[in-house]
Structure 1
Amino acid sequence: MEDEEKHHNFHEMELDDRILKAIAKLGWEAPTLIQEKAIPLLLEGKDVLVRARTGSGKTAAFAIPAIQRILNLKQTSTQQDIKALILAPSKELCNQICKVVKDLTIKCSREVKCVDIAPQEDLNVQRPLLVEKPDIIVATPSRCLQHILAGNLNLKNSLELLVIDEADLVFSFGYEAETKQLLEHLPNIYQAILASATLSEDVKSLKKIVLHNPVTLKLEEPDLAPASQLTHYHLNAEEIDKATILYALLKLHLIRGKTIIFVNTVDKCYKIKLYLEQFGIRTCVLNSELPAAVRCHSVNQFNQGVYNIIVASDEKALEQPGNEEPEKKSKRNKDKNSGASRGIDFQFVSNVINFDFPLDIQSYIHRAGRTARGNNQGSVLSFVSMKESTLLEKVEKFIQQGQEDVSLFKSYQFKLEEVEAFKYRAKDAWRAVTKIAIREARLKEIKQEIFNCQKLKSYFEDNPSDLQVLRHDKALHTVRLQQHLTDVPEYIIPATLKNLAGISKKTKRKRDGGNEYTNKLKAKKNNPLASMQFEGFKKKKKRN
């Protein structure tokens, strides 16, 4: 594993041609560092503990050798059996792991079957899937144990490979007892893989009970992408100033590309959505109270480019021990098997905005890890209030370790006084989002999504293309919308921001095509729109 070793490409790893064709179809030109190191070891049958940062390609690092091993076993086996079990702490991650496996088996889908049993359906509904004994099962520890205890699943005599992804979260998500009980129902001998972004005490505990003489792959790489790939910004602002700046940045298109806005609570999630809704900015909400199928579908649509802004609550951080804020008990039905900042494979995210600064260092790292994945560029903009400044110092100190000469955190240059006119609008919109409006929005969203999931499930199974109709960024309409707020008159935009946003009189007239701004100028002789056949002008001329 020394640096002097020769670099291997996928075609040099003795992989089946069908896997290589699937990799080529996915557009993966070369293995990532973790894939290059882990795949040969796993193909040799060794137990491996993989530690690599988020976005480094861990999923494919264990999925590719798992598929290869199953294809090898198919050559000599006489009956169909479950050969691999992949455990993950959240339903969203299970869904995405299964998708990666299916993408990698697209050329051998008849030989290698993969089933995700993490969704909370009735056990009897999923029983027929397990009776067929798929080659690979993906599940959360609790769901897998439920099927074993119900007699739907027997791994004692057939399992060859166990994978635990995001191993550092398995115990912290409350799966410790279930995982230990689950291991009692596995064979005495099997190959095991632990994949994790950190080597915490929980991972070390799992290592003792799961792995046998393992190889530990701890890549010498930082927790986050390098400064050449990921830029960190911070901006000192209090609540209403945060809201004003967010409105200006998004409405003036000063931030472009796919964006995830992180907050710390579910209520704040809906407050941001309803606030931006008043300005005609469409967003999708992602939190632990939504059904798992909705969360997975929302992420898939975001990855496909159906919408570009997600407001995600990272409330898991509030439940972790050691935080400065006490844990708040809630009667609301949250899904413990969810998490937005960890595991979920958001693709091609250009920006992460921390509207609420994360409550600990690891939360910041994992939020920032949603962008700058693979070889893509990304940026993180953190709004920091006075009470959050100590948290920023801790994060900055941690990330700066070993790089004292270079400051990774940059101050975002934004003059709040230049958008004072935006602030008046922002205050009105922010105050309009009351606690009652938030509660109604939450109930409306959940009822609507449950209806979509339950009543239309069979229809969408037969008509998958129509599933795109279910957009998750639709307006909730629990706050009265004022139409004038959706437009930004040019007179309130400072000159410096006009240039940054690419707005000029010429482009404004061209873009608006005869709305508020052009109507004011239509009487001028030099108006370039005067000759256009526009109905609004015709009617006005007739009246005159």
Structure 2
Amino acid sequence: MALSGREELRFFDMGLDDRIVKAIAKLGWVRPTAIQERAIPLGLEGKDVLARARTGSGKTAAYAIPMIQRILTAKKVLQEQMVRALILVPTKELGHQVKTMVSQLAGCCSHDLRVSDVSMQIDYSAQKPFLMEKPDVLVGTPSRVLGHLSRRNVELRDSLEVLVVDEADLLLSFGFESDLHTLLGHLPKIYQSFLMSATFNEDVEALKRLILHNPVVLKLEESHLPPCSQLLQYHMKCEEEERFLLIIALIKLGLVRGKTLLFVNTVERAYRLRLFLEQFLVRCCVLNGELPIHSRCHIIEQFNQGLYNFIVATDESSLLQSANQSQSQGAAVSKKKKKKNAKKVTKAAKDKEYGVSRGIDFQNVSNVINFDFPPTVDAYIHRVGRTARAHQQGTALTFVSHCEVHLLEEVEQILSGGDDGKSVLKPYQFDMKEIEGFRYRCKDATRAVTKQAIKEARLKEIRQELINSKQLKTYFEDNPKDLHILRHDKSLHPSTIKPHMKNVPEYLVPSTLQGVIQPLVGKRKLQPKGNIAARKSFKKQRQDPLKNFKYTGK
């Protein structure tokens, strides 16, 4: 499917509805990505498409644009309202993201095309009213869509025209295979299909035979990650203590700029790193599968809006790893306890509708830092794939301990194959002696982050989730005493934060960076010069402490 020998297509050359072209222009897209340039014309012709493309290549728009075009064309002939398209996704976060993207692409024809997302884990009866209105596009995980079909909240057999299975390999790995097989029995025999995946494996091939009819297969000739001209990848060999020292030095010296994702391998580790960064008044938050879906979506929105520049995240592989560890530790306990623990672990660890390294659209991520080395090559690719998306630039830095060198070699072996055999992970040239001045502060901060502090930080977050829970709102209205106790429970202090840690005195700045960066030094407000009246007013304000307060009495 190479495009050599012909000019590059543009969106307005594809024969799209003017309203779609206008919406694309509002999004600021100048030209289609490689997968969009190949998949959209095929979709407009009504063909089934099986596409493999890396994370961040624009797969969502590749199927959404021809899907919207088909719906708008069909509604010119038959105005009757019905569910014409179904998009199956593996995670709630991806469902929210897909719904947002389709709504944006249909923004200029929102009166003619409605989109609904049923992937949220709320009561089915709460979602029934808007399903009764028959949205044109339905987004959801296989289990949620199947739940609505079994309750007859929605009917697809006589109306569906387009079926999309997004992130197919991830969807199957999360255990949706049986739900998917059952769901297909509720669909008509003929419909257009899109199967999108980052990788092709045996499961995806089986799904291809089940869903697609004589499809066009698009295997883009591209590396696992963007080229070196777009994505710079570094690694640095450092042990446990050096990791904390290095991360805070990089942040405080301004060497890490822009939105940054910091990946760790366990939830406890995520809270440890967050509390450590907060010691230096670095605003960040934790994103993991323990949090409710509304909280996770809220965190992502805040990050995309710029309220946070740093997110400490775990991915789905870490949850499965913690499940295995918990099960192995529980081998010595009684059978009754073992079954109980196994159920708990499965529910918490295999939150099959959760994924950070894939599925979530973090916007404008400048850096990905693997604070802990990813457990697999795929995990590395999916984590680093969060940056340098579309045509943007990005940087990835991975910390490597002496016992993780073999994992680094595996990653280099896989990635170097697509780049003429050259190593794409360059060593990060940084002299640790230059930041020795930070070491004593780093030790103070790590000592403050105790196991008890981590436990209390997690409890504090859980309590806040309980207070803000919409599902518990009715309960608290009937039992106000419980809410009062919860709000006025013993105050938890995860760790003591010292304000002076925010500042970087000039003597801590390495000599090689003197004059190059602006250290974060707290400075007193200087007395204004020149204007005598302003100087008198400033002096009077300094002498009168009441000027610092606002009078609210009668």
TM-score normalized by the length of structure 2: 0.85
Q: Which amino acid letter does the alignment assign opposite residue 461 of structure 2?
A: E
Q: Which amino acid letter does the alignment assign opposite residue 524 of structure 2?
A: G
Q: Percent identity?
A: 53
Structure 1: distance between partners of 2:473 and 2:196: 33
The aligned residue for residue 517 of structure 2 is: 501
The aligned residue for residue 181 of structure 1 is: 182
The aligned residue for residue 479 of structure 2 is: none
Q: Cα deviation per residue 1:140-167 (whole Å; 9 max; x = unaligned)?
A: 1111111111121211111111001111
The aligned residue for residue 210 of structure 1 is: 211
Q: Where does 1:294-373 land on structure 2 (aligned, <5 Å)?
A: 294-317=295-318, 319=320, 331=345, 333-334=348-349, 335-373=351-389
Q: Cα deviation per residue 1:320-378 (whole Å; 9 max; x = unaligned)?
A: 79x99998866473532111100111111110000001011111111111101111111
CA contact (8 A) 1:163 1:192 kept: yes
CA contact (8 A) 1:266 1:315 kept: no
Q: Cα deviation per residue 1:372-413 (whole Å; 9 max; x = unaligned)?
A: 111111100001111111111100111001435533211112
CA contact (8 A) 1:225 1:372 kept: yes
Q: Where does 1:231-246 land on structure 2 (aligned, <5 Å)?
A: 231-246=232-247
The aligned residue for residue 432 of structure 2 is: 416
The aligned residue for residue 196 of structure 2 is: 195
Deviation, structure 1 residue 419? 1.7
Q: Which amino acid letter does the alignment assign opposite residue 348 of structure 2?
A: N
The aligned residue for residue 294 of structure 2 is: 293
Q: Which amino acid letter does the alignment assign opposite residue 416 of structure 1?
A: M
Q: Cα deviation per residue 1:425-447 (whole Å; 9 max; x = unaligned)?
A: 21221132222221221222133
Per the alignment, in what secondary structure is the counterpart of residue 77 of structure 2? coil
Structure 1: distance between partners of 2:540 and 2:426: 48
Structure 2: distance between partners of 1:374 and 1:384: 28
CA contact (8 A) 2:466 2:472 kept: no
* Residue 528 of structure 2 is aligned to residue 513 of structure 1: no
The aligned residue for residue 100 of structure 2 is: 99
CA contact (8 A) 2:453 2:493 kept: no
Q: Cα deviation per residue 1:62-103 (whole Å; 9 max; x = unaligned)?
A: 001111110011011142110000011011100000000110
Q: Which amino acid letter does the alignment assign opposite residue 294 of structure 1?
A: S
* Residue 403 of structure 2 is aligned to residue 387 of structure 1: yes
Per the alignment, in what secondary structure is the counterpart of residue 134 of structure 1? coil
* Residue 443 of structure 2 is aligned to residue 427 of structure 1: yes
Equivalent of residue 496 in structure 2, options 456, 461, 480: 480
Per the alignment, in what secondary structure is the counterpart of residue 155 of structure 1? coil
Per the alignment, in what secondary structure is the counterpart of residue 366 of structure 2? strand
Deviation, structure 1 residue 455? 7.8
Per the alignment, in what secondary structure is the counterpart of residue 138 of structure 1? strand
CA contact (8 A) 2:248 2:277 kept: yes
The aligned residue for residue 444 of structure 1 is: 460
Q: Which amino acid letter does the alignment assign opposite residue 12 of structure 2?
A: H
Q: Cα distance 1:397–1:500, how it changes in 2: closer, same or farther (>3 A)?
A: farther
Which runs of 5 or more structure 1 residues have no equivalent in the other structure? 459-475, 520-530, 540-544
Per the alignment, in what secondary structure is the counterpart of residue 199 of structure 1? coil
Per the alignment, in what secondary structure is the counterpart of residue 512 of structure 1? coil
TM-score normalized by the length of structure 1: 0.87
The aligned residue for residue 412 of structure 2 is: 396
Per the alignment, in what secondary structure is the counterpart of residue 267 of structure 1? helix
CA contact (8 A) 2:287 2:311 kept: yes
Per the alignment, in what secondary structure is the counterpart of residue 398 of structure 2? strand
Q: CA RMSD in A?
A: 2.7
Per the alignment, in what secondary structure is the counterpart of residue 178 of structure 1? helix
CA contact (8 A) 1:288 1:336 kept: no
The aligned residue for residue 5 of structure 2 is: 4
Structure 2: distance between partners of 1:33 and 1:310: 30
Q: Cα distance 1:445–1:500, how it changes in 2: closer, same or farther (>3 A)?
A: farther
CA contact (8 A) 1:317 1:363 kept: no
Q: Which amino acid letter does the alignment assign opposite residue 193 of structure 1?
A: F
CA contact (8 A) 2:266 2:318 kept: no
Q: Which amino acid letter does the alignment assign opposite residue 31 of structure 2?
A: A
Q: Which amino acid letter does the alignment assign opposite residue 172 of structure 1?
A: S
Per the alignment, in what secondary structure is the counterpart of residue 143 of structure 2? helix
Structure 2: distance between partners of 1:487 and 1:394: 40
Structure 2: distance between partners of 1:202 and 1:257: 38
CA contact (8 A) 1:266 1:313 kept: yes
* Residue 274 of structure 2 is aligned to residue 264 of structure 1: no
Per the alignment, in what secondary structure is the counterpart of residue 61 of structure 1? helix
Structure 2: distance between partners of 1:115 and 1:82: 10
Structure 2: distance between partners of 1:478 and 1:457: 27
Q: Cα deviation per residue 1:29-60 (whole Å; 9 max; x = unaligned)?
A: 11111111101111111110011111111000
Deviation, structure 1 residue 536? 12
Structure 2: distance between partners of 1:174 and 1:231: 34
Instruction: Name whichever of 435-444 and 22-31 sits farther off.
Output: 435-444
The aligned residue for residue 108 of structure 1 is: 109
Q: Cα distance 1:490–1:129, how it changes in 2: closer, same or farther (>3 A)?
A: same
Deviation, structure 1 residue 208? 1.4
Structure 1: distance between partners of 2:163 and 2:424: 39
The aligned residue for residue 454 of structure 1 is: 470
Per the alignment, in what secondary structure is the counterpart of residue 107 of structure 1? helix
Q: Which amino acid letter does the alignment assign opposite residue 153 of structure 1?
A: V
Per the alignment, in what secondary structure is the counterpart of residue 217 of structure 1? strand
The aligned residue for residue 469 of structure 1 is: none
The aligned residue for residue 490 of structure 1 is: 506
Q: Cα distance 1:264–1:195, how it changes in 2: closer, same or farther (>3 A)?
A: same
Q: Which amino acid letter does the alignment assign opposite residue 479 of structure 1?
A: S
Q: Cα distance 1:435–1:43, how it changes in 2: closer, same or farther (>3 A)?
A: same
Q: Which amino acid letter does the alignment assign opposite residue 426 of structure 1?
A: C
CA contact (8 A) 1:60 1:100 kept: yes
CA contact (8 A) 1:319 1:327 kept: no
Q: Cα deviation per residue 1:276-301 (whole Å; 9 max; x = unaligned)?
A: 11111010211111111111121122
CA contact (8 A) 1:291 1:450 kept: no
Q: Cα deviation per residue 1:7-29 (whole Å; 9 max; x = unaligned)?
A: 22111111111111101111111
Q: Cα deviation per residue 1:474-498 (whole Å; 9 max; x = unaligned)?
A: xx94111123322222223321243
Which runs of 5 or more structure 2 residues have no equivalent in the other structure? 330-341, 475-491, 528-534, 544-554
Per the alignment, in what secondary structure is the counterpart of residue 364 of structure 1? helix
Q: Which amino acid letter does the alignment assign opposite residue 333 of structure 1?
A: A
